[in-house]
Amino acid sequence: MSIHILSPEVANQIAAGEVVERPASAVKELIENSLDAGAIDIRVEVREGGRRLIRVQDDGCGIPAAEAALAFERHATSKIDSADDLSHLTTLGFRGEALASIASVAQVSLLTHTRDEAAGTLIRMAEGREVERSLHGAPPGTSVTVEHLFANVPARLKFLKQPATEAAHIQQIVTRYALAYPERRFGLVSDGKLLFQSTGSGKPYDVLLKVYGSEMAREMLPIDLNDERRATAEDGSSAIGHRPSAIGVSGYVGAPALHRGNRSYITLFVNRRWFQDTSIAYAVIQAYHTLLPVGRYPVAVIFIEMPPEDVDVNVHPTKAEVRFRESGAIYSAVQRAVRRTLVDHAPIPQVGLGEPATPVGGGAEASAGAFGGSAWAERRDALLGAGRQGRLLPAAEDQEPALGYQGTATPGGASALAAQSSVSAPQPLVPLLRVVGQLGATYIIAEGPDGMYLIDQHAAHERILYEQMLAEHAGNRLVVQPLLEPLLLDLSPEQAAVAAEELETLNQLGVDIEPFGGSSYLVRAVPALLSKDNPGAALVEIIDGLAAHTDLVEATHEARLVTLICKRAAIKGNTPMNLAEMQELVRRLEACRSPRTCPHGRPTMIYLSNSDLARQFGRT
């Protein structure tokens, strides 16, 4: 079909396209045009994160010289002709708005050549107006060059992120299409450096290796498309219009051991179009029920195949969302396919039924009157004896004083953090406690003046480290551990975007990290809290946490990052501790400013009063 202007009737039924909001938006539209043109080799080149230059070059069918100028008109497309075509779209693009939108906010050059024409056509546009048209030598295909994006729209330019962040968003777009079209070759060059290159072998696993790296790819389990369609036909529960074989689900899902701190690693495609859908993503998460730790999310690349008339892709201005005719059937098919794959490769753990303990710390029994006064303190001290010598972490004489034993933080740090790190308090917020033992290598059992306390050792240690690190940062006394050898982190595009955005904050809080080309970063030092851990794994987990900050209670970047560092550094559950270590942890928790909750708001302890114990034993 040749390029033509859609009639007003058809144009009015198309969801109006948004203006180009960032360089990645322009790259997305141009790649879709290349794919629709049948290109086998697609090369993307950007400079300064796409602000200075974007070039998308392909070997597709090209645009006839007579139609090249028409391609810059609004609602000019060769992909649909009537409103009926919208109900069964088979192309990625269809609105005819991409080139017109891009040309309105940048300088654009279009060089195109069809195989049956003697020469190519060059058209240059500036601020939406044609400034040059000429014959030009070129190989078959199309090359679109976008320069000085948003130079004439300064209000939009100021909202762009750092070049490294914008380049990471572009890399994310390219890798998504590479996953969806493994038979095509995609290349991405940023500021002269090759960031990504797929083989075009047609094997999805080859692209998976390029996108996620060999370590993650080894943990990905393939979903068998044919098995899922056969199972769908057998039970008939996920048919659209009672056609059992209409839905196909394929792709890869991470083994239960492979999980991340946010949902962004669930990538969804329908008929090879990337889309966002919280319901379908939840179907993937539900398939991992009881297989993942709380607060962790799977890694998955899911491809849904279905008749185009059963999915509406014309419901979102940027085509990021779709509408299914039978969304419940899609949900069931995806959940079943993922679950079957996991069951085939990993045993399902047996989970007992029971009621969880109810946190009651901070109740009336634990208030000031229940702390028992000097009599309890003397009894506790007598019972403790020499056991108070033990320490969980290096003591005050070995490093900076632990937070619980300091006065107020030294002035001179960030005011927001200094306010949170002050440790002066008019009275204790928890009673003096005597450690009795450990339960399940996870909870410390302690006796208080009027009952028993169960302390979550991980949550308590998080609180201690959090207040300590905030105080050290506010007083410019943060302890940093240089690495013997610089550590190279190869991040995903999503992780690299977060690292670029938070680079200054990471450096301020003791992570000496710098870009090392593409999605790689070089780490030379880490906070002392992380020095005994695996720094690489710790930093990747922290970066993932920064990307999913919805569960964090702090508003500032610094406090969010401190929370994540302390979560990683804190002693974990299922870690045996000796009596001296437990006593030291409890002493430091008693001295904290907010000892009853961890930085995420979860309780550090629960309380059972003597009167409750007496009632349970029938003594009252």
Is 269 in the same domain as 194? Answer: no
| pTM passes above 0.75 | no
Three-state DSSP class for residue 533: coil
The C-alpha atoms of residue 492 and residue 370 are separated, in whole angstroms, by 52
Question: What's the pLDDT score for residue 19?
Answer: 58
Q: Taking a C-beta distance cutoff of 8 angstroms, is the pair 509, 530 a contact?
A: no
Tens of pLDDT, residues 457-495: 999 999 999 999 988 888 888 889 899 889 999 888 888
Distances (CA, A) of 536 to 165, 490, 513, 548: 21, 10, 11, 19
Give the end of a domain, one of 345, 374, 389: 345
Q: Which of 573, 334, 539 is nearest to 439 (CA)?
A: 573
Answer yes or no: do 234 and 297 share one domain: yes
Flag whether 208 is in a domain. Answer: no
213 belongs to a structural domain: no
Strands, E assignment, 499-619: 512-515, 520-527, 605-609
Residue 212 has pLDDT above 90, yes or no: yes
Q: Are residues 551 and 604 in the same domain?
A: no
The rounded mean pLDDT for the chain is 78
Query: Does residue 33 share a domain with residue 173?
Result: yes
Do the Cβ atoms of 432 and 590 come closer than 8 Å?
yes
Do 457 and 548 have their domain in common?
Answer: no
Looking at residues 169-181, what average pLDDT do you find?
95
Tell whether 370 and 507 lie within a shared domain.
Answer: no
The whole-number pLDDT of residue 430 equals 76
Is 451 inside a domain boundary?
yes
Which stretch of 150-154, 321-325, 359-363, 406-410 has the lowest confidence by average pLDDT? 406-410
Residue 137 has a CB neighbour count (10 Å cut-off) of 10
Please check whether residue 585 is in contact with residue 457, taking contact to mean a CB–CB distance below 8 angstroms.
Answer: yes
Angle, vertex CA 2, rays to CA 37 and CA 180, nearest 5: 20
Residue 500 has pLDDT above 50, yes or no: yes
**Does 545 share its domain with 558?**
yes
Quote the CA–CA distance of 35 and 362 in Å, as a whole number.
61
Q: What is the pLDDT of residues 344-402, one digit of tens each?
A: 765 333 333 343 333 333 333 333 344 555 666 666 666 665 444 433 433 333 333 33
The DSSP H or E segment spanning 582 is helix 579-590
In this structure, the answer to whether residues 187 and 301 fall within a common structural domain is no
Tally of residues, the chain = 620
Looking at residue 476, what DSSP letter applies?
T
Alpha helices in 402-489 (DSSP H): 415-421, 457-474
Region of poorest pLDDT, from 14-23, 270-279, 594-603: 14-23
Do 494 and 601 belong to one domain? Answer: no
Average the pLDDT over 436-448 and give the result: 93
Asked whether residue 88 is assigned to any structural domain, the reply reads: yes
**Six-digit token pair at 82?**
């009537």
Per-residue confidence (pLDDT) for residue 55, from 0 to 100 = 97
Q: Is pLDDT at 285 greater than 60 in this prediction?
A: yes
pLDDT of 393 reads 39
Query: For position 564, what pLDDT does the model report?
Result: 87
**Model pLDDT for residues 556-605, shown as the tens digit of each residue:** 667 778 888 898 899 999 999 999 999 999 999 988 887 887 887 678 88
Strands 297-298 and 259-260, how do they pair? antiparallel
Q: Tell whether the model's pLDDT for residue 224 goes beyond 60.
A: yes
Distance of alpha carbon 469 from alpha carbon 455, whole angstroms:
21
Where is pLDDT greater, at 33 or 319? Answer: 33
Tell me which of 544 and 10 has the higher pLDDT: 544
449-462 average pLDDT score:
91
* Over residues 158-173, mean pLDDT: 92
Answer whether 181's CB lies under 8 Å from 201's CB.
Answer: no
Q: Are residues 266 and 299 in the same domain?
A: yes
Instruction: Compute the average pLDDT of residues 336-347.
Output: 78
Q: Of the segments 54-63, 120-129, 360-369, 498-507, which one has the largest average pLDDT value?
A: 54-63
Q: What pLDDT is recorded for position 241?
A: 39
Q: Among all chains, which residue has been given the structure tokens 């320490």?
A: 391
Looking at the fold, whether 562 and 580 belong to one and the same domain comes out as no
pLDDT at 80 over 80: no
d(CA 460, CA 457): 5
Q: Say what the pLDDT of residue 125 is.
A: 92
What share of the chain has pLDDT > 70, as a percent? 73
Q: Tell me the angle at which helices 457-474 and 557-569 cross, rounded to the nearest 10 degrees.
A: 140
- CATH number of the domain residue 556 falls in: 3.30.1370.100
pLDDT at 233 over 70: no
Would you say residue 353 lies in a domain? no
Give, in degrees to the nearest 5, the angle at Cα 491 between 459 and 56.
145
- Domain CATH number, residue 19: 3.30.565.10
Q: Quote the domain boundaries for residue 445.
A: 364-476+573-616
Task: Pick the last residue of a domain from 345, 377, 409.
Answer: 345
Q: Which of 478, 484, 568 is nearest to 525 (CA)?
A: 484
Inter-CA distances, 420 with 78, 405, 559, Å: 60, 16, 9
For residues 471 and 536, state if they share a domain.
no
- Residue 617 phi, psi (nearest 5): -90, 5
Residue-wise pLDDT tens digits, 342-360: 877 653 333 333 433 333 3
* Residue 338 lies inside a defined structural domain of this protein: yes
Alpha helices in 181-290 (DSSP H): 204-217, 225-235, 278-287
| Segment 114-164, tens digit of pLDDT | 999 989 999 999 877 899 999 998 999 999 999 999 888 887 888 899 999
At 145 the pLDDT is 96
CA distance 203 to 185: 12
Number of domains in the chain: 4
